[in-house]
A and B are shown apart, each in its own frame.
Chain A
Amino acid sequence: MKLEERRKDVFYCANCKWCYYRFPEDSVKHWDLMKVSCPSGKYYGWETHYAPGRLTVAKGVLKKFIKPDKKVVDIIFQCPVCANCRVICGNEYGWGKEVVFNDILEDFRADLVDLGIGPAPEQKKFGESVRKSYNPYWEPHEDRMKWMPSSVKPSKKAKIAYFVGCTSSYRMKETAQATVKVLDAAGVDFMMLDPEEWCCGSPLFRTGQRELAKEMMKHNVDAVKASGAKSVIFSCAGCYRTFKVDYQDYLGPLPFKLMHTTDLVAQLLKKKKLKLKKFPGTVTYHDPCHMGRHLYIGNPPDPSVFEPPRQVLKAIPGLKFREMERTKEMAWCCGAGGGTKSAYNDFAISTAIERIKEAEETGAKALISSCPFCRRNLIEAIEKSGSKIKMYDIMELLANVIA
């Protein structure tokens, strides 16, 4: 069992439960800034659904007090793997070593899949879809590039390849369309990987379906190598995280550069390659877990991962930018990650509604993010909560203000 290999990490958790609450930088002076940090614990209410509770279940399995069953599957999979617990543990209370909650959880999930009792049925279904048509949405693979606007003509060969991702290709096409428009406007020479772009494997890695995920990984890396591209850019935080963390965990350093579109656009703006119109409005930014905490974790942590999207937004003339109360490494998750959107949608929506409320409190008229999957869930939450706030991908906003 992979969990067995993590035995020490599992028992490293002293059940102190500091991870239940976010502890901001200036917490010594501002005790009043505390907020519950765990979406799953907050929604389900049971101690079992907070990180130490899940680890207690893992300890029980390791000590053979309990056998993995359907209930264990529910407990372990009802988590968006946002890693807020891990950041709080590591950065605030960890004496230099944090409990690697999300890694342990993913290993535990992989064990449950190997035992044949996980993942949740809905998650199993998207696995089947990926196997059949290389995307989790049961859409035909040949439709993957149908979103491409006729006005944009990517090169056949270029140094930069754009990895679109499944959500932008099939569900949130505006993100992909806006991205190519921005790249085109900035004169970036880029190519597409189609038809060799397959699902990056993020939903599979997050839900323990690793064997299939590895197949996707191998194919995608080979595809990039064969294309001759030197850099790959991503408009999806999930794909970016998967290449940057998961792929490199398995394969070692990749022979090409990885970059999120916000990184690239921040550089283009610096070089004055893009001219922007005025945007008279107030916006706030939602940090996707995969574009923040999941990359921020490490030794030493690199807070610079949070800056590019903010640099891009602040470069738009007339735009008023306001931070939400929980931002950057302490950002509240949108609730959709870790397979919860497909299997536990009520939980995902409830978590997103809390984020929407937080965004509204800033007085912003629009909520911006850099992850199509977050965007998808947040849009659904806006509809369900009746909120009037608008939701845009950062590339979408940018495409609208290009002069």
Chain B
Amino acid sequence: MPLTEKALMELESIVGSENFSADKPTCLTYCSLMHGVSYFPAKYIFDAVVRPASTEEVQKIVLLANREKIPLYPRGLGYSQMHFPGPDGGVCVDLGRMNRIISVDEDSRFVVMEAGVTVGQLLEYFAKHHPRFEPIIPNSAPLASTMGGFQVGRTGGPYQIRAGTGVDSILSFEGVLPNGEIVQTGAASMNQPWFLKGDWQAVTDPRFMLAALGTMGIITKFSSRMFPKPQVREERWYGFDSMEDVVDPLTQWMYHQFGLESCYGGNWVGLASGFHGLRHPFPDPKKAGWPNAWAVLLYGGHPEEVALKKRLVEDINKKSQKKGNSIRPMRSPMTPYGDRLTEREMPWTEVQRWVHQGNLRYVPTNTQIWFISYVMARNIPAFLHAEDEITEKYGFYTNFHFRAYDWGRMYQLKLTLTYDISEDKDVDMLREALREFALRVKNLGVPVGPQSPVVIPYLIAEFPSFAKQVKLYLQLKDMMDPNNIMNPQAVAPMREAMKGAKV
């Protein structure tokens, strides 16, 4: 149902005309997410985009949305996959203007910021004003991504081995519930301590709302931990005969939290995945005399702490060697140009060759996920073509995207082919479409199969959770958001999947 003229005018009056747009080009832009072509809207489009500047403005928007039954889709910079408008249109709440870094407390080590602060902005701010400290930021996320999005997305980051993922670093937050109520959780880092907010102490875990991607409310402000910059940063490289050998020591390093930011390993495709551009040829690992697989451990902290960690790591490595593991220290890889391996040295043709040879079998690092994403993203015209053809041939609205799942400390990338569940199509036909799609993906040179990082087919309709959990979640959602205004499309597939489900 399109928005009424009155509702549009009211929205405009809340945020001001320069921060309100109902024109089609702007609304279309806000429908486009990362890897946006795959999600390029074929059917639905936002009715308006608003850019509030404060929690109070967000509250006014939510109250209006409740009154007028307008679906709201909060958005950072569009890196998640969850705020795609539905058939009812809706309003995109762009939090990009809420980008103030409110305070930094060096003694208690936390920073309070608004949800729209970007990673790049935060890094720039810390470098200028608090050079002895580091904020917790998403690992390998683009600098333009918002910190609010990072926190609600449960993504990992530097220090995640020590401190957990982004959401674990949250001390408190302020948000607007679907009924328009402003809530503040946590302790002294916010204006008011939680115990002064009578109704809210029942929810003790801020994750209830975080990681909800706007389905339970809109996070507008939060405080997050920060770390002192380590006095020493060092890295150690290890070589292995095979990828199988990497797994054991790597798991133990991770388990004992020896890494400062991360410890990771892989084959050379994995390493090269972090290397951008084609300015120089990447050396042939065999000719360079490099081992088949590698792992790297980044130490950090006080000098004594680092020395202790090194000793403990050596103990683990020796024990591993005794069991027949091929682990041995290696020099940091050198290029033919004499420099240490730096970015921009991976020839694309080499990557493709390795992928074709089926070398890319293990995906233990999110760097590799990025690599695969890039493989996909850079082949988007081909994918788009496939998408269009399949849509035309089978009559489904199809699209695809990438998902990285955190299974313990291992990641796997899923290529998902979704379809509009509201259209009651023949399931066999859908399977046929998926098979054809899989074939096309395979033809692009990406390995498909159980050992592959790319797993297809995967239907969004087959919601991969326990029915009881889903039911509970939906009950909670109904209770908190009776008008179903907050990010309704995120829960729509769950509702469909729950129809007739035995709980």
Contact = CB atoms under 8 A, between A and B. Distances in A.
Interface stretch (A88-96, A177-185, A248-256, A282-290): A88-96
B415 to A, nearest CB: 15
Given A32-B126, A48-B26, A72-B25, A95 B277 contact: yes
A11 B123 contact: no
B333 interface: no
Interface in A287-316: 300-301
Given A18-B144, A47-B78, A95 B37 contact: no
B380 A56 contact: no
B163 interface: no
B52 to A, nearest CB: 13
A308 to B, nearest CB: 22
Contact of B378 (A35, A52, A95): A95
A18 B142 contact: yes
B277 A91 contact: yes
B124 interface: yes
Interchain residue pairs A-B with the least CB separation, the first 10: A32-B127, A15-B36, A14-B377, A96-B278, A20-B144, A21-B143, A34-B120, A17-B144, A56-B32, A48-B29
With most chain B CB atoms within 10 A of its CB, the pick from A11, A91, A92 is: A11
A221 B482 CA distance: 71
Give the interface size class of chain B: 35 or more
Contacts of A52: 32, 36
20 contacts: A11-B384, A12-B381, A14-B377, A17-B78, A18-B142, A27-B343, A31-B123, A34-B120, A35-B120, A36-B120, A47-B29, A52-B36, A60-B25, A65-B24, A72-B25, A75-B25, A93-B276, A93-B277, A95-B278, A96-B347
B433 interface: no
A20 B26 CA distance: 18
Q: Is the interface on chain A under 10, 10 to 19, 20 to 34, or 35 or more residues?
A: 35 or more
A63 interface: yes
Given A20-B142, A21-B120, A65-B28, A28 B342 contact: yes
A43 to B, nearest CB: 12
B37 A66 contact: no
B489 interface: no
A95 B374 contact: yes
B24 A66 contact: yes
Given A18-B142, A34-B120, A47-B29, 10 more contacts: A17-B34, A17-B142, A21-B142, A31-B127, A56-B28, A57-B25, A65-B24, A66-B24, A91-B279, A95-B277
Interface of A: 7-8, 11-18, 20-21, 23, 27-28, 31-36, 45-48, 52-53, 56-57, 59-60, 63, 65-66, 71-72, 75, 90-97, 300-301
A23 B24 CA distance: 32
A96 B25 contact: no
Contact of A66 (B28, B36, B142, B343): B28
A16 B377 contact: yes
Given A47-B96, A48-B29, A15 B277 contact: no
